[in-house]
Amino acid sequence: MKLEKLFFLSLLLCFLSVSSLAASVAYADGSLNTPLVYANDNSTPIKYPTAFKAEFDRKNLYITVKCSDPKAPELGRTPRQIVRSWPMVDSVEIFLDPPQLKNFVQLAVGVNGMFYDSRKNVAAPAWKYELSFHSDFWQVKFIIPFSDLGVSAETGDNWKFNLCRNVRFSDNFNSTWAHVGSAFHNPSGFGTLTFGAPSAASAALKKKMRKAVAELEAELRKKGIYSELKDKVDAIRNNCTVSKINAIREEAQMIEQLKGL
């Protein structure tokens, strides 16, 4: 099946401040240029460049991470331990936080083949990974079925997202794409993974939001309370978000309670 390009993640090479470095939205731009920053300061790009890209099709999300390291061949000779446990070696972590889930999912893979999945209630995760080692970098590719997460994704969707790299052999540091601080379990600081290139994602999202507003209007009319919320619905027609729709729905619930509906 032909993959639909999702994005190549990149940040600006010119850093004027911490805010200019902050990861925000990941889009397709055709390049692999993604500095990670040291987790202890969330500002300084790490000494070993790390680039990553993602693609998706109807079934899977694919995240490929290229980790520069002068000792990559030695890392490739690390004894293999293909077991589910936290990798205490060089590793890559990804954090996926789709809006359909209550909690984010953390996945990790180490150079020794050890892998981690934060979902304790999932005994046999369906996601897979591929490791390869080269003269000056090593690479890991995550292959994550949407069905394994219990979600779906299409062009225009947005997930909260982060990617981290832990170096243990050539040096000793942790690094992160999004500025989450030194504690990676901080979804409020995650960046955004946008499915689709900018123009396609934007068009798909606008179409989806127009449909959502139309459904909201129909819902309010059916309940007989559209007149009370008409101005607020009209106000979001050209600048709609899921949070704005949810806010109107919450207000609608209060109106229903007051009217005894």
Residue-wise pLDDT for 26-51, tens only, equals 553 344 546 799 999 988 999 999 99
d(CA 28, CA 31): 8
d(CA 54, CA 7): 5
pTM attached to this predicted model: 0.78
**How does DSSP classify residue 189?**
G
φ and ψ at 7, to 5 degrees?
-165, 155
d(CA 73, CA 128): 22
Residue-wise pLDDT for 160-192, tens only, equals 999 999 999 999 999 999 989 888 999 999 998
* Least confident window among 81-85, 139-143, 152-156: 152-156
> What is the model's pLDDT at position 24?
62
198: Cα separation from own chain's centroid: 16
166 membership: H or E segment, kind and range: strand 158-167
Say which residues have a Cβ less than 8 Å from residue 148's Cβ, sequence separation at least 6: 122, 125, 126, 127
